[in-house]
């Protein structure tokens, strides 16, 4: 059985029923192996001039994205906990220069979103902004604040299609206007793909593009910058499809006239995290491989592919004459996994890693982003990857038909697949 020659679903399973089944399985996978809950309420992270505080909340209320592990903590965040964790976080920032440098960029996020009142109450949000006010006034080096959230938490559309801001967004705008010393206020949003069929059928992340665009327009009207995430190495696509859809998504996100006009975009490779739908798929694939030596795993599960898919997308940006966009494109963390070693990249991995890091931190001169991308394209690993792209068989199957195949494969391989009464949330 080859995953490059996907078959159509022969059982006539109704599409809505099939997707509901996959959505429900995605939620089940998030908690299937969570036997140990976090003992902390917030998790700080420091890297140079950047500091991040992630609140371990009850988790994303949507809870169905196939690649996400935000299953949540059982304990509820309270204003008292917010004050305690913010006090600890602020003391760390104020007590010393992290890595010899004063913090100038701070990111706040959660397992879902601190802007979602279902997991982070309005009282908690008030406490956060109260402590954030104190932190900014005391740590005079902080110039940028970033809040990661889901676009639905920003507001809704009224019957006339006008955007109505949420309580959280109203608080953020008030905070921004009262702190002119903060030069940049950022909202970070997930988007993943400009292809709605991919979002709906393979990522389980339906998005209303009109609502998304109007939320971004409102942010811009209030002087708030937008940082959007786009995925590379998407599941159940051929390599060429992965490159093309990531490239098209970057252009849509950054296009000021016909797209969203975001200030920045982050291109990140699909990471198979524990307690996600696709980690469950990976377990089923590994099981199938042991049972059938002729079974071929899909290309997106190839760890090396996740790097080259990202690099090939950047190379297409350069070759298509959009190199001016490179300064607006960042890349997500790509290291830290066991496979990224000399066993996987026996010849040039050390240089590849260094170049990716230089691209991430946007150095200039000979290490400009264009030069880095072109240098990566000269490596043996990249050339081998592009040869495999040319040789790969293409498919005419729709993304819905691929989702049908996925459903059948899991139904055959996994006891977790069953009809569920868990409701599917329309985004």
387: CATH: 3.20.20.70
- Domain-located, residue 5: no
Count CB atoms within 10 A of the CB of residue 160.
5
- Domain-located, residue 423: no
| Confidence category of residue 57, pLDDT binned at 50, 70, 90 | confident
Question: pLDDT, tens digit, for every residue of 297-307?
Answer: 888 888 778 88
Q: Which regions of 293-426 does DSSP assign to beta strands (E)?
A: 329-331
Question: Does pLDDT of 253 surpass 90?
Answer: yes
pLDDT of residue 427: 47
Q: How far is CA 126 from CA 117, 264, 340, 349, in A?
A: 11, 28, 42, 47
Strand, coil or helix: 272: coil
- Domain-located, residue 61: yes
What value does the mean pLDDT take over residues 165-188? 97
Question: Facing residues of 101 across strands?
Answer: 98
| Confidence category of residue 361, pLDDT binned at 50, 70, 90 | confident
pLDDT of residue 266: 95
Nearest to 186 by CA among 261, 262, 110: 262
- Domain-located, residue 206: yes
Between 413 and 336, the more confident residue is 413
d(CA 170, CA 172): 5
- Domain-located, residue 124: yes
Question: pLDDT, tens digit, for every residue of 71-108?
Answer: 766 678 999 999 999 999 998 888 765 555 788 999 99
pLDDT of residue 167: 98
Residues 6+ apart with CB under 8 A from 291: none
Question: pLDDT, tens digit, for every residue of 289-327?
Answer: 898 888 888 888 887 788 899 999 999 999 999 999 999
Q: What pTM value is reported for the model?
A: 0.90
Q: Give the least confident one: 172-181, 272-281, 410-419.
A: 410-419
Q: What is the mean pLDDT of the chain?
A: 86
The tally of CA atoms less than 13 A away on the side-chain side of residue 395 is 19
- Domain-located, residue 422: no
- Domain-located, residue 57: yes
Report how far Cα 128 is from the mean position of its chain's Cα atoms: 24
Residue 49 structure tokens:
């001039």
Query: The domain containing residue 364 runs over which residues?
Result: 15-413
60: left (phi over 0), alpha (psi -120 to 50) or beta: beta
Q: In the chain, count of helices (H) and strands (E)?
A: 13, 10
pLDDT of residue 99: 54
- Domain-located, residue 425: no
Q: Give the least confident one: 58-67, 69-78, 231-240.
A: 69-78
Between 143 and 342, the more confident residue is 143
What is the domain count for the chain? 1
Report how far Cα 219 is from the mean position of its chain's Cα atoms: 20
């Amino acid at each position: 059985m080859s995953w490059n020659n996907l078959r159509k679903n022969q059982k006539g399973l109704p599409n809505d029923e099939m997707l509901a089944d996959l959505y429900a399985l995605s939620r089940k996978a998030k908690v299937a192996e969570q036997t140990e809950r976090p003992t902390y309420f917030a998790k700080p992270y420091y890297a140079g001039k950047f500091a991040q505080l992630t609140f371990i909340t009850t988790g994303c209320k949507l809870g169905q994205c196939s690649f996400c592990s935000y299953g949540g903590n059982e304990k509820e965040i309270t204003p008292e906990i917010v004050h305690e964790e913010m006090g600890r976080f602020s003391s760390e920032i104020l007590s010393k220069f992290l890595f010899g440098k004063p913090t100038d960029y701070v990111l706040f996020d959660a397992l879902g979103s601190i802007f979602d009142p279902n997991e982070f109450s309005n009282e908690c949000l008030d406490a956060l902004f109260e402590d954030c006010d104190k932190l900014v006034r005391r740590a005079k080096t902080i110039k940028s604040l970033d809040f990661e959230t889901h676009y639905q938490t920003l507001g809704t559309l009224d019957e006339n299609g006008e955007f109505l801001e949420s309580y959280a967004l109203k608080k953020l705008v008030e905070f921004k206007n009262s702190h002119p010393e903060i030069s940049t206020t950022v909202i970070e949003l997930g988007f993943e793909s400009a292809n709605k069929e991919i979002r709906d059928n393979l990522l389980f992340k339906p998005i209303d593009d009109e609502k998304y665009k109007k939320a971004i327009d409102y942010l811009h009207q209030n002087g708030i910058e937008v940082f959007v995430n786009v995925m590379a190495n998407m599941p159940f696509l051929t390599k060429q499809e992965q490159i093309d859809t990531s490239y098209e998504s970057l252009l849509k996100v950054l296009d000021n006239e016909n797209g969203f006009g975001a200030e920045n975009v982050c291109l990140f490779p699909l990471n198979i995290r524990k307690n996600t739908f696709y980690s469950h798929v990976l377990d089923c694939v590994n099981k199938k491989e042991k049972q059938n030596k002729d079974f071929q795993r899909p290309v997106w599960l190839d760890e090396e592919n996740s790097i080259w898919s990202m690099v090939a997308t950047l190379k297409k940006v350069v070759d298509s004459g959009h190199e001016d966009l490179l300064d607006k494109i960042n890349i997500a963390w790509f290291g830290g996994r066991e496979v990224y070693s000399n066993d996987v990249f026996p010849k040039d991995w050390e240089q590849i890693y260094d170049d990716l890091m230089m691209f991430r931190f946007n150095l200039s001169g000979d290490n400009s982003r264009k030069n880095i991308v072109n240098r990566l394209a000269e490596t043996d690993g990249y050339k081998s990857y592009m040869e495999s792209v040319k040789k790969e068989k293409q498919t005419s199957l729709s993304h819905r038909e691929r989702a049908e195949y996925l459903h059948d494969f899991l139904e055959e391989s996994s006891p977790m697949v069953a009809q569920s009464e868990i409701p599917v949330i329309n985004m």
